[in-house]
Amino acid sequence: MLYLRIKFFVKYYFKFASELWGLIFNHALWLCICWIHVIRSASSNFSYFYFFAGIVWVLLTVFRFIKLHNLISLALKKQPLLEANENYLYDHVSGIKFYWDDIEEISNDEYVLLLKTYDPSKYLSQFRRPIDRFYNYSKKKKVFKISLDYIKADLKNLGETLNNFSILALAIQEGKK
């Protein structure tokens, strides 16, 4: 008896997106505010406006950096952001493997991949930080969100491609049993 073992996988890598330009702009604006503060405080009385504006910009930068930290490190290491094989769909940014037999439905909006799972609690416990859970899971829709802003792929057909992958993967898993 001849067994044919099919292996398939696809990897999606990083592309530079507008949100990173926003982060760079945020840093530049914060530096400008600090310099204005230094120049103005040397010539006149101390102004609290520049001090508090600087604090607000620092907080915004910190929250953005927390969101983009894993993404930037993966891009610098030239590792894939999203990977699909015959067993799972792996979101490297959040570090979670979504197994095909647990996924009920895959769809995508313009820049977000939506994964509806049979048992969301299984994956919610894998998030390391509460802020990651906030960014990546919608309680209202009961779906996991994977941002496609930085993924180099045909975004219009990505949901359909991954649906086809899931069907093929489940067929391969059934063939193994």
Q: What is the pLDDT of residues 77-114, one digit of tens each?
A: 999 999 988 888 999 988 899 998 898 888 888 788 88
Please report where in the chains the tokens 């998030």 appear, as a residue: 127
Beta bridge partners of 11: 83
The residue with greater pLDDT, 76 or 16, is 76
Mean pLDDT of 34-58: 69
- Helices 48-76 and 18-43, packing angle to 10 deg: 150
How buried is 93 (Cβ within 10 angstroms: 0-12 exposed, 13-18 middle, 19+ buried)? buried
The residue with greater pLDDT, 171 or 89, is 89
What pLDDT sits at residue 40? 67
Helices (H) and strands (E) in the chain, counts: 5, 8
E strands in 82-136: 82-85, 88-91, 96-99, 103-108, 112-117
What pLDDT sits at residue 38? 66
Most confidently modeled range among 36-50, 81-95, 134-148: 81-95
Query: What is d(CA 115, CA 170) in angstroms, rounded to the nearest whole number?
Result: 16
DSSP class of 81: S
Answer yes or no: pTM beyond 0.95.
Answer: no
Q: Are the C-beta atoms of residues 136 and 146 closer than 8 Å to each other?
A: yes
Q: Are the C-beta atoms of residues 61 and 30 closer than 8 Å to each other?
A: yes
Mean pLDDT of 11-20: 77
What pLDDT sits at residue 3? 41
